[in-house]
Structure 1
Amino acid sequence: MNPLPVDPADWHAYLAEGNAKQARKRVAADVLIRDSNDSFLLVNPTYKPDWDLPGGMAEANEPPDVAASRELSEELGLTIKLGGLLVVDWVEPHGPWDDQLAFIFDGGVIDTDRATSLYPHDSELSEVAFTSYEESRTRLRPRLTHRFEAAVRALSDGKLRYLHNGISVW
């Protein structure tokens, strides 16, 4: 028998049990940042082979935009106001990983002085670089390349992209 909401303690316990049985999603939150030359900021993580967009994984119960801002601050010492959401990508389970939701936010354009002064602020990154669209596509792993391309299209037409494994759904 399910408790009714008239008994707050039983109702809370019932909801907590349901919550414990529901799936948890990993959340990645990246940021698309450009410089005044229309180049894109990429970071080179020390813990995986390919370059990446700046950002990272959300902590438990952390909103994706807050995670993206926190990661920019921790890894690059960069504080910016995020623009709109460009991409949401559902990534199926792969290897040892469960599925995840990957977000890309618009980080806007930063001026040349700020761009040239960026450097890794922790051991998770070995280097940063502003690269052309074409070079960015060659440095990113395939799934992220598709996500990156969708984010650039979203910037140009103002339409949020929703993907499954890097492939546009709408």
Structure 2
Amino acid sequence: MIVWLNGAFGAGKTSTARELLDLIPGSTLYDPELIGNALRAQLPEKRLGEVDDYQDLPSWRRLVVDTAAALLMEVGGPLLAPMSLLRQEYRDEIFGGLAARRIPVRHMLLHAEETILRARIQHPDAWSGDPETGAEARAWRLARLPAYQTALPWLTRDAHVIDTGDLTPRQAAERAAAAVCEGAGACGIVQTPEPTGETLAAGVLLFDDHDRVLLVDPTYKPGWEFPGGVVERGEPPTRAAAREVAEELGLELGPGHPLRLLVMDWEPPRPPRFGGLRLLFDGGHLPAPEAARLFLPAAELRAWRFVTESEAATLLPAERFARLNWALTARRRGGTLMLEAGVPIG
């Protein structure tokens, strides 16, 4: 298990985590900031200059998950992770990756009013060593308080909130420990198992009255996706595609929605991904009344929308957009295309 202590700078995450070590037997402090520091030391300056924060690095988000899993194999007990995580899509990606490894998360938000946070960040006792470095770090943390205020609506819905404004770190830790024992802050994100080999996946393209295509935004991985999922052992791909659409959108693809294969794409293995075969079917036209009745499983999908091909280019990862591009070409031609790594063959 991981107890993730979220919140703004000045909320008391690290000091509370240290106190929690005494209150949760067998727990270990896990600081994802150390991974960010390691990436700063390893990555070229050019790459670092392309991001504002190491959390914007996909490698940081993946390593946070992989390192947590490795640590739990070593120590067994709960990990205490004091780390601000203010972008919901990053929270979804990291917590989804942990869920895929069957690692439960208890999400705790240590909250304090902005006036208190500012006072704590600027307090002289909070900084030691080089005054110039301290001033730079203080300004950096103060500049990120607006992002915390922006994130508060989803944070308070997602996490168990502990107001630390009038609490000592020990008192905050006692409340966090009690909340963990009660099961508060449990992460309800979908637990999608990590593949152990090549997979066969089937997706469905559904179109509105303007011939825009339907995309969905998964909570458990970055980037938008087509409705669909992995074909189970012994399951026909068309049945798997229809099953996934029903599970994800509440839409039953009956006789009025025949599935026609548009694209069969072999995705090469790119460690740590195993690749496999990706099928895209034409699910036909989705009338507006049916689209209005779509619903999403909150633990799996965050949103859906109809998009043009140019809009899809800004939402889909490159390999998925290439697959969509060729699928739309096959649809216009009334045929089927075979692809290898997103490129037609034959």
In the superposition, the TM-score normalised over structure 1's length comes to 0.82
Distance 2:334 2:272 in 1: 35
Task: Give the direction of change, closer, same or farther, for the CA distance of 1:122–1:69 in structure 2 (3 Å limit).
Answer: farther
String of CA shifts for 1:63-104, please: whole Å, max 9, x gaps.
Answer: 211111110011111112333100000011112232300000
Structure 2 SS opposite 1:85: strand
Distance 2:220 2:200 in 1: 18
| Aligned residue number for residue 234 of structure 2 | 61
String of CA shifts for 1:41-78, please: whole Å, max 9, x gaps.
Answer: 00000011100011011111212111111100111111
Partner of residue 114 from structure 1, selected from 268, 280, 290? 290
1:98 aligns with 2:271: no
How far off its partner does 1:142 sit?
A: 0.4
Which has the larger strand fraction? 1
How far off its partner does 1:169 sit?
A: 1.2
Corresponding letter in the other structure for 2:302: S
Task: Give the direction of change, closer, same or farther, for the CA distance of 1:74–1:122 in structure 2 (3 Å limit).
Answer: farther
| Aligned residue number for residue 18 of structure 2 | none
Partner of residue 343 from structure 2, selected from 155, 159, 167? 167
1:140 aligns with 2:321: no
Partner of residue 52 from structure 1, selected from 199, 220, 225? 225
| Aligned residue number for residue 11 of structure 1 | none
Distance 1:82 1:47 in 2: 29
In the superposition, the TM-score normalised over structure 2's length comes to 0.41
Aligned partners of 1:75 and 1:122 also within 8 Å: no
How far off its partner does 1:25 sit?
A: 4.1
Alignment gaps of 5+ in structure 1: 1-23
Structure 2 SS opposite 1:105: strand
| Aligned residue number for residue 70 of structure 1 | 243
String of CA shifts for 1:108-147, please: whole Å, max 9, x gaps.
Answer: 0011111233221352111111111210122111001010
Aligned partners of 2:313 and 2:321 also within 8 Å: yes
Distance 1:82 1:101 in 2: 21
Distance 2:236 2:271 in 1: 25
Structure 2 SS opposite 1:106: strand
Aligned partners of 1:119 and 1:128 also within 8 Å: no
Structure 1 SS opposite 2:330: helix
Alignment gaps of 5+ in structure 2: 1-196
Task: Give the direction of change, closer, same or farther, for the CA distance of 1:43–1:84 in structure 2 (3 Å limit).
Answer: same
Determine what percentage of the aligned residue pairs are the same residue: 39
Partner of residue 31 from structure 1, selected from 187, 200, 204? 204
Structure 2 SS opposite 1:56: strand
Aligned partners of 1:119 and 1:127 also within 8 Å: no
Distance 2:233 2:342 in 1: 24
Distance 1:100 1:53 in 2: 16
Q: Name segments (4+ residues, structure 1) moved above 3 Å.
A: none
| Aligned residue number for residue 88 of structure 1 | 264
Corresponding letter in the other structure for 1:87: V
Which has the larger helix fraction? 2
Distance 1:124 1:156 in 2: 32
Aligned partners of 2:238 and 2:259 also within 8 Å: no
